[in-house]
A and B are shown apart, each in its own frame.
Chain A
Amino acid sequence: MKKKLGLMVTAMLTAGTLLAGCGTSDEGKTSGGDKKDFKVAMVTDTGGVDDKSFNQSAWEGLQKFGKENNLEKDKGFKYLQSTAQSDYKPNLNSLIRQKYDVVFGIGFLMGADVETVAKQQPDAKLAIVDMVVKGDNVANITFSEHEGSFLVGLVAGMQSKTNKVGFVGGVNSELIKKFENGFKAGVLTANPDAEVLVQYAEDFNKAEKGQQIANTFYQQGADVIYHAAGGTGMGVFTEAKNRKKNGEDVWVIGVDRDQHEEGMPENVTLTSMVKRVDQAVYEVSEQAMNGKFPGGKIVEFGLKEDGVGIAPTQDNVDKDALKSVEDYKKKIIGGEVKVPKTDAEFEEFKKNLK
């Protein structure tokens, strides 16, 4: 009896060794140790690196930086995905322990964790996107999303045939409010009679919820929907595509990246409000490499810095709308038009409009 048991265990061990043999073919050491090598890394929020939005854009920026500086993936530049919010801190710590020179926390959800880790590891350099936290070793990257949203709002206002447009937000928060108020201001500037429907999905990763909200909006007569909802926004695209297939004339305005492709093949993407997280990540990485890491500072990327704007694919946008976008872009950069960020600022804006 004992023998048989032994036999079984041996069989398993043999299998294990065989497997081990396969695995050692091209092993790589994890730590370079050379201090001259510059290394950057980022931690995604729970959206993951292929969220077709924000995290993905940041990773594109990091990849560009890595390629241009001949860094090797997973050694010179890499990302870690977080599947739960409790992963943020261990992921940040893990990268710092592997001696990455700059570690980016992508998204305001990570704000508190970046702040704590920065305090505990004063030698580390961290950066946080979309949030401002305390700490001399943290670079705070923010965007003027309201300015970009204003521009796409103009397009929506001018091209809506029903005079009704919709806004789908991810989670009701200070940040997404910037998108909403900028958009509403843009719509009303272009088309004072238009009505803007607003709803928050309270989730950035629930496509089915986005689809459901889009369904309601389109049913109520909206023909353009702007989404600032990450993965939830994918559902808005699905709904619009379904309706376009049935001959309805509906549009979606994408967010963060040029979401033209997400609207294909039915071609439902009117335009997108791009937020150049890639540009920001790239620039802050470069500054850090040149010894000019903006620790403790707020780096704001607006229209002026090309940090936000309207997407390069503009096939579906009318000429008039494009012209108006250019005009207002100049006015915003010049300070003639001040785009509202908060609800209170929007009410003020609306009063002055009349």
Chain B
Amino acid sequence: MPNKSNKMKFLVPLISVFLGLLIGGIIMLISGYQPVEAYVALFQGIFGGSYYFGETIRQMSPLILSGLAVAFAFRTGLFNIGVEGQLLVGWLAAVYVGIFVDAPAIIHIPLAVLAAGVAGALWGSVPGILKARFKVHEVITTIMMNYIALYTTNEIIRNYMLAPGERTENIKESASLASPFLQSITEYSTLHFGIIVALIAAVIMWFLLWRTTLGYELRAVGFNQHASQYAGINVSKNIVLSMAISGAFAGIAGSMEGLGTYQYMTINAGFTGVGFDGIAVALLGANSAIGVILGAALFGGLKIGALNMQSIAGVPTELIGVVIALIIFFVACSYLVHWLMNRVNRGGKI
């Protein structure tokens, strides 16, 4: 019955979100806060006006890209936890090109985005090569590469690009993805053209994976390395390539921050969190391009709405963190919901 499974597909995530809200509400009630007021603030903070909508979309752009990065590696059976580091080097590369290169916007913007992608790809390919050549587990190397990226980028900024306020200079206007037009129609939100880059990247990922020979090989390696090798696929090459492409997506996610949201790079005291959220986004989106976009929308919306929850309903950020985590938790547990519903549907017939 295709009809039934379609309905289930639609219902399961909805009920999962609802369950998350319900449990979160109970927790807020126990802690002495108003769940209804808080949730109204949450939803207003996502959809309540062009300003909030603009902020939500802005928050989505890097999340889509970091989600794509994780999902892409996953398709080849690799767990890229290094998105965070690849994002940082991408950010730095984009800002570097944005500051030190002179070019008209039509060349400058793609060049800066490309630089971010290449930097991320190089950073990502290191764990790829280590994995392919020496069988070093990519989880360890990517995590370590995160730290290397964090402190290296900080040091480079501090020594070569420092401006007052712990950051670099602003990038040149011609490299900026920010748009006064988008900002003016969203009451001065930080919305920028990055979302278009992110959506294009999603299409590229889908096309690469499902419409090219390369994609077929990558997925085959993901399913079974030994079978792929037997079938004449160069497994090592595919592992390195997969990590490099994944890193490129992550690097471009960094350019969203550098060319769009901030227009500069700060000396980061810690990780941005975008890369780690990308893991959840990818898993929520079942590692598909469209799923990643939806997952990023959920994550981005909740993040922006949470600010309003604090601002209007007075719920402390720590508690909001718990509530948001619960919602995501239940969405991730959708399989459980699925199973429960099947039980209920079958009723006493078991």
Cα–Cα, bound, A4→B312 (Å)? 39
Give chain B residues whose Cβ lies under 8 Å from the Cβ of A16.
18, 22
What is the interface of chain A, defined by CB distance below 8 A to chain B?
A: 1, 4-5, 7-9, 12, 15-16, 19-20, 22-24, 27, 30, 46, 48, 74, 78, 80-81, 83-87, 89-91, 93-95, 97-98, 108-109, 111-112, 117, 120-121, 131, 171-174, 202-206
Cα–Cα, bound, A70→B317 (Å)? 26
Given A23-B29, A93-B188, decide whether A80 and B36 contact each other with a Cβ distance below 8 A. no
B29, B158, B310: the one contacting A80 at CB < 8 Å is B310
Query: Does the CB pair A94–B311 fall under 8 Å?
Result: yes
Give chain A residues whose Cβ lies under 8 Å from the Cβ of B304.
90
B35, B183, B190, B316: the one contacting A23 at CB < 8 Å is B35
- Chosen A-B contacts, 14 in total, with CB atoms closer than 8 Å, are A1-B345, A8-B344, A20-B36, A23-B25, A23-B29, A23-B36, A80-B310, A87-B307, A89-B190, A94-B308, A97-B51, A109-B166, A131-B164, A172-B158
Number of interface residues of B (CB under 8 A): 50
Query: Does the CB pair B270–A203 fall under 8 Å?
Result: yes
Is B104 on the interface with A (CB-CB < 8 A)?
Answer: no
Is B261 on the interface with A (CB-CB < 8 A)?
Answer: yes
Chain A nearest CB, measured from B152 CB (Å): 12
Query: Does the CB pair A81–B15 fall under 8 Å?
Result: no
Query: Does the CB pair A95–B341 fall under 8 Å?
Result: no
Classify the secondary structure of B's interface with A. helix
Chain A nearest CB, measured from B18 CB (Å): 6
Give chain B residues whose Cβ lies under 8 Å from the Cβ of A74.
314
Is B136 on the interface with A (CB-CB < 8 A)?
Answer: no
Query: Does the CB pair B35–A86 fall under 8 Å?
Result: no
What is the interface of chain B, defined by CB distance below 8 A to chain A?
A: 11, 15, 18-19, 22, 25-26, 29, 34-37, 51, 55, 59, 151, 154, 158, 164-167, 183, 188-190, 257, 261-262, 264, 266-267, 269-270, 272-273, 304, 307-308, 310-312, 314, 316-317, 321, 341, 344-345, 347
Cα–Cα, bound, A269→B140 (Å)? 41
Query: Does the CB pair B158–A22 fall under 8 Å?
Result: no
Query: Does the CB pair A27–B307 fall under 8 Å?
Result: no
Query: Does the CB pair B22–A205 fall under 8 Å?
Result: no
Query: Does the CB pair B22–A171 fall under 8 Å?
Result: no
Cα–Cα, bound, A139→B25 (Å)? 40
| CB-based nearest A residue for B321 | A83
